[in-house]
Chains A and B, each alone.
Chain A
C-alpha cells in the first residue's frame, strides 16, 4: 500500500510553453502533498506544500506564479510550470503520506523536464 504515481515520467517542451505534472496517491487519501525539485548531482529541495482545497504554500525563493499548484481532490495534486525556460529543466518529484503512516514519505517516480 501507499503508492504515489507521477505523470509524465519525462517531458520535453519548448521555451515559453507550460507543462503540467500530475501526482496521484493511488491507494490512500492525501490532504497534503509536497513538491520537490532536484538538479543533477544535487539533493531534493522542497518547492511547495500542496494543500487540498486551499492555496499551496511556497518555499522562499520559489515563484508561485511560475509554479502553479492545484490540489483539487484528496488524491491528486498538479504542478504547472508556466512559461518554461531552460533553467527550469530539472527533475520534479512529489511525495505524500497516508495518515496512519505519516512518518514515511512516499515519492512518485519523478518527472524529468527538459526545456529546449
Chain B
C-alpha cells in the first residue's frame, strides 16, 4: 500500500520567510498529488493539486513541485504570515473510485512575528 511521509517535526519560521514542506511517497506514482491545510479541530481544506505531468503549480503565495523520479513533492509558502500557521497535509488518491485519499502524516507550521 502507498505510504506517505512528511516532516514529522513542527516547522517554525519567521514572518516574511518562505516555508518549505516535504512530502515523500513510496510505491507507485500517482496521477496527481494534493495538498490540504488543517486547522485545529477542523476538517482539511483543499489548497492545490499537481498532476504527474506538471513540474510546478502556483496559486497566489503557494507553490507546489512534483518530482515523480524522486517520488517527492515540495510545498512552498512565500512571504509567510502568522495566519499561515496550521498543519499541512499531502494526499494521494487511492484506487477503487471516488476521491478516496491516503494522507501523509502532516507537518505543523508555525509562523512567528
Contact = CB atoms under 8 A, between A and B. Distances in A.
A76 B111 CA distance: 38
A67 interface: no
Give the interface size class of chain A.
20 to 34
Interface string A77-116: 0000000000000010101010000111111111010000
A11 B2 CA distance: 33
B45 A107 contact: yes
Contacts of B105: 42-43
Interface in B53-98: 89, 91, 93-94, 96-98
Contacts, number: 64
Interface of B: 32, 34, 36, 41-46, 49, 89, 91, 93-94, 96-106
A102 B42 CA distance: 21
A116 B81 CA distance: 39
Given A43-B89, A93-B44, A110-B41, 18 more contacts: A32-B98, A34-B98, A34-B100, A44-B44, A44-B101, A46-B94, A46-B102, A93-B43, A95-B99, A102-B98, A103-B49, A103-B93, A104-B34, A104-B46, A104-B99, A107-B44, A110-B42, A110-B43
Q: Name which of B45, B46, B49, B96 has the most chain A CB atoms within 10 A of its CB.
A: B46
